Chains A and B, each alone.
Chain A
């Protein structure tokens, strides 16, 4: 691989990691769409900051973006608290307004700048390595790598330091407030973090695809894990996996890298959705099938127990007539009997079914349960 390819691959992995970690809390707080709002609205802050400093690489742009991100959250909450709008409508009103103000300013006054709408929407991860960090006469690598690595470190430090507080305010904001942890303050700090992450990522993958990188890996991790700590690690792994597989898919298709990364994050989510060990579609349909036949054989056992107690085994336990007693079709009946025999609930003597000791106990148990 050429140095340029390695630079791009490292950038892709870093940006995915930086998005996938805070994304976990976006998903768990059920504010995933705020990432969409913030990643668009920050354009306004970036453009304003750009007009002030006239330099695309100034840290002030990050500052402007972070302020606009928080402004988005504040405006949205003001609209919600007015009681006239629901949350989704409030989000849908605020961020397009800020985004379009940014677009107007950009197209009207900054026509020739490197910052164009195309770049805003899709990012330029392939070109990012050309802008180098040169200091002390040495080339320290792509500037963007340092920026996004800084964002990643910030996210890791914040989540590690406030892990317990983030967990509590996400799970039970009421208790968090009662214990003196100020959930509203933590929420604003967290949203600032999301804004800074979005501005760091948006130059690389654009404001739309940053949403995919913030939501898809945590959503997949949510299906694969039972603990918050594990969810963070799996989300990070999913993010890196989307980055690397997306990069090679883009090479292979000769297509947009950011688009391929976002697509792969979606593909990985759907794989988790289908194949996750407990919550995936496959696992659940297996469990459902198992429960179905378990229930059927249990029903048979209960039927035989009732027959025993009524001394009606003679008429009620003939295998051939079981389908009539239960009003089941033949196929279902034989499957249910097979399951009962397999589980050792029933035994078969010639053409008659009877309960085993285990089957009798289980049937009694089922009946006594209220």
Chain B
């Protein structure tokens, strides 16, 4: 894994630094002048209502979508996919699980960035893939056709594929969507492991209830950046109301109780 480019290990610079980012699909703006910093070595969540632009933000950081305005820096530099600084876990539903391939092969796809053009995966890549499958507890499934996996298993395969990318930063689009409670717990254990290995993990997340328990840092997003900071500071009823707008009444009723419970769980 010595292909990973040397980066200045300056803890002061944010892993991801987005300034004045505006994104539009045709003339419809999805993100308005968003500022956003992800500090290094944190588990960070991006939350917000449906259509708030969470996936769009992730895709524009990755350079998959071109911003209408604004700047994205990754570890202090203009981001180029070839630098392999970011491991990406797309939404589970964004790929065709009937594709003719098996679990091991999907995990090895995470190595393609390191391999570059034309080179085929080697025995070492295969060994790495098996190791990553062991970490997520899916090694018994390595020869399984991917259409035979449950939702939780699919997600763990995706996490294994993120592990093998061995990037300092991970962007994950709803890693907890559609998985059962047990799988969710096992995934958060894996994400914490990434953090203890010095990685920065940014997840699009949906569940306000588990936010405090799972994440250190949070950004509330609704087309613009509503709030950003440590979970305890950001997750105030006032901020939530500003982020979720019309559903303020509903949230106001429950957030006190929920936030209280989240804090209990953590202690």
Contacts and interface: CB of A to CB of B under 8 A. Distances in A.
A167 B84 CA distance: 19
B113 interface: yes
Contacts of A170: 99
A171 B113 contact: no
B120 A178 contact: no
B101 A178 contact: no
B101 A172 contact: no
A171 B102 contact: no
Contacts of A161: 118
B109 A168 contact: yes
Interface string A226-260: 11101100000000000000000000000000000
Contacts of B161: 175
Interface residues of B, number: 33
Nearest to A174: B90
Contacts of A168: 109, 112
A226 B104 CA distance: 13
B115 interface: yes
Given A172-B109, A178-B88, A180-B82, A227 B64 contact: no
Nearest to B62: A178
B100 A175 contact: no
B95 A172 contact: yes
A229 B161 CA distance: 20
Nearest to A183: B64
A178 B64 contact: yes
Given A83-B26, A163-B120, A172-B94, A179 B81 contact: yes
Given A28-B99, A172-B94, A231-B100, A177 B81 contact: yes
Contacts of B95: 171-172, 174
B29 interface: no
Interface in B210-257: none
A278 to B, nearest CB: 9
Interface string B81-116: 110101010100011100111100110011011010
A350 to B, nearest CB: 43
B178 interface: no
B121 interface: yes
Contact of A172 (B90, B120, B121, B145): B90
A164 B112 contact: yes
B120 A171 contact: no
Nearest to B106: A171
Given A164-B112, A174-B94, A175-B109, A228 B100 contact: yes
Interface in B48-88: 59, 62-64, 80-82, 84, 86, 88
Given A83-B26, A161-B118, A175 B90 contact: yes
Given A168-B109, A231-B100, A177 B118 contact: no
Contacts of A225: 100
A357 B61 CA distance: 59
A124 interface: no
B3 to A, nearest CB: 13
A163 to B, nearest CB: 7
Contacts of B112: 164-165, 168, 176, 179, 181
A228 B81 contact: no
A163 B101 CA distance: 13
Contacts of A165: 112, 117
B152 to A, nearest CB: 14
A181 B110 CA distance: 12
A214 to B, nearest CB: 17
A222 interface: yes
A181 B119 CA distance: 13
B195 to A, nearest CB: 21
Contact of B120 (A83, A164, A176, A228): A164
Interface centre among B84, B94, B109, B121 (most CB of A within 10 A): B109
B90 A227 contact: no
A172 B90 CA distance: 9
A221 to B, nearest CB: 9
Given A28-B99, A83-B26, A231-B100, A175 B118 contact: no
A301 B130 CA distance: 40
B264 to A, nearest CB: 26
B131 to A, nearest CB: 20
Contact of B121 (A30, A83, A164, A180): A164
Contacts of A222: 100
B256 to A, nearest CB: 32
Contacts of A181: 112, 117
30 contacts: A83-B26, A163-B120, A164-B118, A167-B101, A168-B109, A171-B95, A171-B99, A172-B95, A174-B59, A174-B90, A175-B90, A175-B109, A176-B112, A178-B64, A179-B81, A179-B84, A179-B88, A179-B113, A180-B81, A180-B82, A180-B113, A181-B112, A181-B117, A226-B102, A226-B145, A227-B101, A227-B102, A227-B105, A230-B100, A231-B100
Given A171-B101, A174-B59, A179-B84, 6 more contacts: A174-B88, A174-B90, A175-B88, A177-B62, A228-B101, A230-B100
Sorted nearest first, the 3 A-B pairs with minimum C-beta distance are A180-B81, A179-B113, A178-B88
Interface of B: 26, 59, 62-64, 80-82, 84, 86, 88, 90, 94-96, 99-102, 105-106, 109-110, 112-113, 115, 117-121, 145, 161
Interface of A: 28, 30, 83, 161-165, 167-168, 170-172, 174-181, 222, 225-228, 230-231
